[in-house]
A = this chain, B = another copy of it.
Amino acid sequence: MYLCDFQQRIRYGETDQMGYVYYGRYAEFYEIGRTEMIRKVGMTYRDLESRGIMMPVVKMVCNYFRPIAYDELITIRTVLRKLPTARITFHHEILNEAGELINEGEVHLVFTDATTRKPIRPPKDLMEALAPFFSGTEEN
Contact = CB atoms under 8 A, between A and B. Distances in A.
Contacts of A23: 27, 56-57, 60, 107
Interface of A: 9, 11-13, 15-20, 22-28, 31-32, 35, 44-46, 54, 56-64, 67, 69-71, 107
Contact of A19 (B17, B24, B28, B61): B17
Interface residue SS majority, chain A: mixed
B27 A24 contact: yes
Contacts of A26: 24
A27 B13 contact: yes
Given A13-B27, A13-B31, A18-B54, 18 more contacts: A9-B35, A12-B17, A12-B22, A12-B31, A12-B35, A16-B17, A17-B20, A17-B70, A23-B56, A24-B27, A24-B28, A27-B27, A44-B71, A46-B71, A56-B64, A58-B63, A59-B63, A60-B61
Contacts of A9: 32, 35
Contacts of A28: 11, 13, 24
Given A15-B17, A17-B12, A58 B54 contact: no
